[in-house]
A and B are shown apart, each in its own frame.
Chain A
Amino acid sequence: MAELDRMLLRYVEVAYPAAEEAERRNFEGLLELDDNLLWSYLIGYLEPAEPDVSRLTTKIRKLASHRT
């Protein structure tokens, strides 16, 4: 899923360097998810149960939409 790659790499490029340790751990947790679930979170079709992870997915989505 090329769009998924682009969204994740965009986050790593722009936001990861300034991210707190907890956010980095949450991001690594997201990488463990299967593609379909991760994609559903990132496009906002589903919302992660944990508020911190939900904030992170929203951030990734916003970063991706700012690029285009």
Chain B
Amino acid sequence: MLRIEPERSKLYRNFLGLSALASGVALWGAGLPPGVKAVLSSILGLYLFRLGKHRVLGARLDGSGHWFLLRPDGSEERVTLGQSTFVSDVCIVLHLETERGRELLPVFRDGVDPETFRRLRVHLACARSEKSEEQDRASGPT
């Protein structure tokens, strides 16, 4: 069983800050009318604010390979792991499909303990391998 509850991450804050800065520079240098720039900047600001807010507390993988979303109110919801989940050495973004849509859970290396990050990475690599096996079986021999 694996429980992931990312804490505040310096890497994540830096990522959000740099994204905001780069988007702001691109937006204000784009030669748009000032009113449009202001509206787009507000939308960008709201988007980044929403991204920075934790609507999801974490996720849990049980012994049978089922994923659960952990909400800040303590509730759990059974979800499926999206194939578009992003995995790198520094950051993993879990794409968790709920009945109401997709929830993203960014997990940065400095937001969880190293063992949890390693386990998550290896579990995801195994899941990916199993998924591709299933797809191969489903497509059958050619």
Report which A residues bind B (CB closer than 8 A).
1, 4-5, 8-9, 12-13, 16-17, 24, 27-28, 31-32, 34-35
Contacts and interface: CB of A to CB of B under 8 A. Distances in A.
Interface residues of B, number: 12
A17 B129 contact: yes
B38 interface: no
Contacts of A12: 122, 125-126, 129
Nearest to A8: B122
Contacts of B132: 17
Contacts of B71: none
B55 interface: no
Contacts of B115: 34-35
Contacts of A5: 118, 121-122
Given A1-B114, A16-B126, A31 B119 contact: yes
Contact of B121 (A1, A9, A13, A27): A9
A17 B134 CA distance: 11
A34 B119 CA distance: 10
A35 B114 CA distance: 9
In order of increasing CB-CB distance, the 7 nearest A-B pairs are A12-B125, A8-B122, A17-B129, A31-B119, A16-B129, A35-B115, A5-B118
